[in-house]
Amino acid sequence: MISSYPQLNLTLLNLGCNGHRITDLKHRWQRDVLDLKPDWLIILIGINDVWRQFDRLNDRNQVNINNFEETYRSIIAESKTDSGQIVLMSPYYLELNLDDPMRIKMDQYSQIVERLSIEYQCPFINLQKAFDHFLSSRTVESISSDKIHISKVGHTIIAQSFLKTIESRLP
Protein backbone atom coordinates (compact mmCIF):
# COMPACT_ATOMS: atom_id res chain seq x y z
CA MET A 1 0.00 0.00 0.00
CA ILE A 2 2.59 2.56 1.09
CA SER A 3 4.95 1.49 -1.69
CA SER A 4 2.24 2.13 -4.31
CA TYR A 5 1.80 5.78 -3.25
CA PRO A 6 5.08 7.12 -1.80
CA GLN A 7 4.07 10.69 -2.67
CA LEU A 8 1.18 10.55 -0.18
CA ASN A 9 3.52 9.97 2.77
CA LEU A 10 1.09 7.48 4.31
CA THR A 11 1.44 5.90 7.72
CA LEU A 12 -0.49 2.68 8.25
CA LEU A 13 -1.27 1.30 11.68
CA ASN A 14 -2.68 -2.17 12.13
CA LEU A 15 -4.51 -1.99 15.44
CA GLY A 16 -6.07 -5.42 15.24
CA CYS A 17 -5.60 -7.78 18.17
CA ASN A 18 -5.41 -11.53 17.73
CA GLY A 19 -8.53 -13.28 18.91
CA HIS A 20 -10.57 -10.13 19.41
CA ARG A 21 -14.23 -10.01 18.61
CA ILE A 22 -16.30 -6.94 17.90
CA THR A 23 -17.17 -6.54 21.58
CA ASP A 24 -13.45 -6.43 22.44
CA LEU A 25 -12.90 -3.87 19.70
CA LYS A 26 -15.74 -1.72 21.04
CA HIS A 27 -14.10 -1.56 24.48
CA ARG A 28 -10.84 -0.18 23.08
CA TRP A 29 -12.25 1.79 20.12
CA GLN A 30 -11.96 5.30 21.54
CA ARG A 31 -8.47 4.87 22.99
CA ASP A 32 -6.91 2.73 20.28
CA VAL A 33 -8.55 4.26 17.22
CA LEU A 34 -10.57 7.44 17.53
CA ASP A 35 -8.08 9.24 19.76
CA LEU A 36 -5.57 8.93 16.91
CA LYS A 37 -7.92 10.89 14.60
CA PRO A 38 -7.17 8.84 11.48
CA ASP A 39 -7.76 10.22 7.99
CA TRP A 40 -8.75 6.73 6.82
CA LEU A 41 -10.32 4.05 8.97
CA ILE A 42 -10.46 0.49 7.67
CA ILE A 43 -12.56 -1.94 9.69
CA LEU A 44 -12.13 -5.69 9.29
CA ILE A 45 -13.85 -7.54 12.13
CA GLY A 46 -16.15 -10.54 12.48
CA ILE A 47 -13.98 -13.54 11.74
CA ASN A 48 -13.46 -14.43 15.41
CA ASP A 49 -17.09 -13.61 16.18
CA VAL A 50 -18.08 -16.46 13.87
CA TRP A 51 -15.13 -18.80 14.43
CA ARG A 52 -15.60 -18.88 18.21
CA GLN A 53 -19.13 -20.17 17.68
CA PHE A 54 -17.57 -23.27 16.13
CA ASP A 55 -14.37 -23.86 18.10
CA ARG A 56 -15.48 -22.75 21.57
CA LEU A 57 -19.03 -23.99 21.92
CA ASN A 58 -19.17 -23.44 25.70
CA ASP A 59 -17.82 -19.88 25.57
CA ARG A 60 -20.28 -17.56 27.33
CA ASN A 61 -18.99 -14.53 25.40
CA GLN A 62 -20.37 -15.57 22.02
CA VAL A 63 -21.31 -12.67 19.75
CA ASN A 64 -24.59 -13.55 18.09
CA ILE A 65 -25.57 -11.91 14.84
CA ASN A 66 -27.83 -9.30 16.47
CA ASN A 67 -25.15 -8.26 18.96
CA PHE A 68 -22.63 -8.10 16.11
CA GLU A 69 -24.80 -5.76 14.08
CA GLU A 70 -25.71 -3.56 17.05
CA THR A 71 -22.08 -3.21 18.15
CA TYR A 72 -20.82 -2.62 14.61
CA ARG A 73 -23.47 0.06 14.10
CA SER A 74 -22.34 1.77 17.30
CA ILE A 75 -18.69 1.74 16.21
CA ILE A 76 -19.52 3.28 12.83
CA ALA A 77 -21.80 5.93 14.32
CA GLU A 78 -19.06 7.01 16.76
CA SER A 79 -16.50 7.07 13.98
CA LYS A 80 -18.53 9.08 11.48
CA THR A 81 -18.11 12.22 13.55
CA ASP A 82 -14.48 11.78 14.60
CA SER A 83 -12.84 10.17 11.61
CA GLY A 84 -12.20 10.78 7.96
CA GLN A 85 -13.08 8.17 5.38
CA ILE A 86 -14.35 4.82 6.70
CA VAL A 87 -13.96 1.61 4.69
CA LEU A 88 -15.67 -1.63 5.73
CA MET A 89 -14.22 -5.03 4.84
CA SER A 90 -16.17 -8.25 5.00
CA PRO A 91 -15.09 -11.07 7.25
CA TYR A 92 -14.04 -14.17 5.33
CA TYR A 93 -13.65 -17.91 5.66
CA LEU A 94 -11.43 -19.73 3.20
CA GLU A 95 -13.99 -22.34 2.23
CA LEU A 96 -15.57 -22.64 -1.21
CA ASN A 97 -18.31 -25.04 -0.09
CA LEU A 98 -21.26 -22.68 0.33
CA ASP A 99 -23.07 -25.36 2.37
CA ASP A 100 -20.36 -25.47 5.03
CA PRO A 101 -22.00 -24.30 8.30
CA MET A 102 -19.19 -21.88 9.16
CA ARG A 103 -19.17 -20.45 5.65
CA ILE A 104 -22.95 -19.94 5.84
CA LYS A 105 -22.63 -18.05 9.13
CA MET A 106 -19.63 -16.02 7.89
CA ASP A 107 -21.64 -14.99 4.82
CA GLN A 108 -24.48 -13.84 7.10
CA TYR A 109 -22.11 -11.65 9.12
CA SER A 110 -20.61 -10.34 5.88
CA GLN A 111 -24.06 -9.37 4.64
CA ILE A 112 -24.51 -7.25 7.76
CA VAL A 113 -21.25 -5.43 7.04
CA GLU A 114 -22.31 -4.81 3.45
CA ARG A 115 -25.72 -3.54 4.56
CA LEU A 116 -24.07 -1.18 7.08
CA SER A 117 -21.72 0.12 4.39
CA ILE A 118 -24.75 1.11 2.32
CA GLU A 119 -26.56 2.61 5.29
CA TYR A 120 -23.56 4.68 6.39
CA GLN A 121 -22.33 5.35 2.83
CA CYS A 122 -18.95 3.73 3.36
CA PRO A 123 -17.00 1.84 0.71
CA PHE A 124 -17.38 -1.93 1.12
CA ILE A 125 -14.71 -4.46 0.24
CA ASN A 126 -15.95 -8.00 -0.21
CA LEU A 127 -12.91 -9.97 0.89
CA GLN A 128 -14.82 -13.23 0.69
CA LYS A 129 -15.32 -12.65 -3.02
CA ALA A 130 -11.62 -11.81 -3.48
CA PHE A 131 -10.55 -14.96 -1.65
CA ASP A 132 -13.10 -17.09 -3.50
CA HIS A 133 -11.64 -15.83 -6.78
CA PHE A 134 -8.12 -16.78 -5.67
CA LEU A 135 -9.30 -20.18 -4.41
CA SER A 136 -10.94 -20.97 -7.73
CA SER A 137 -7.39 -21.50 -9.04
CA ARG A 138 -5.36 -22.35 -5.94
CA THR A 139 -5.77 -24.48 -2.84
CA VAL A 140 -6.63 -23.16 0.59
CA GLU A 141 -3.36 -24.64 1.86
CA SER A 142 -1.46 -22.29 -0.45
CA ILE A 143 -2.45 -19.34 1.77
CA SER A 144 -3.73 -20.78 5.07
CA SER A 145 -3.37 -23.80 7.32
CA ASP A 146 -6.70 -23.29 9.11
CA LYS A 147 -8.93 -21.37 6.65
CA ILE A 148 -8.69 -18.23 8.82
CA HIS A 149 -5.08 -17.13 9.35
CA ILE A 150 -3.52 -16.09 6.05
CA SER A 151 -0.03 -15.94 4.61
CA LYS A 152 1.64 -12.94 2.98
CA VAL A 153 -0.19 -13.86 -0.23
CA GLY A 154 -3.49 -13.54 1.62
CA HIS A 155 -2.47 -10.16 3.00
CA THR A 156 -1.58 -9.09 -0.53
CA ILE A 157 -5.08 -10.04 -1.67
CA ILE A 158 -6.51 -7.81 1.06
CA ALA A 159 -4.20 -4.91 0.15
CA GLN A 160 -4.99 -5.20 -3.56
CA SER A 161 -8.72 -5.31 -2.85
CA PHE A 162 -8.39 -2.19 -0.71
CA LEU A 163 -6.39 -0.28 -3.33
CA LYS A 164 -8.80 -1.21 -6.09
CA THR A 165 -11.69 0.13 -4.02
CA ILE A 166 -10.17 3.40 -2.83
CA GLU A 167 -7.83 4.47 -5.67
CA SER A 168 -10.36 6.91 -7.09
CA ARG A 169 -10.67 8.59 -3.66
CA LEU A 170 -6.96 9.25 -3.18
CA PRO A 171 -5.58 12.76 -3.71
96 residue type, one letter: L
The Cα–Cα gap between 147 and 95 comes to: 7
pTM for this entry? 0.91
Domains of the chain with CATH codes:
2-165 (3.40.50.1110)
**CA 68 – CA 63 distance, rounded (Å):** 6
The pLDDT tens digits along the chain (171 residues) read 556 767 777 777 788 888 899 999 999 999 999 898 888 889 999 999 999 999 887 878 889 999 999 999 999 998 876 656 899 999 999 999 999 999 999 999 999 999 999 999 999 999 999 999 999 999 999 999 999 999 999 999 999 998 888 877 776
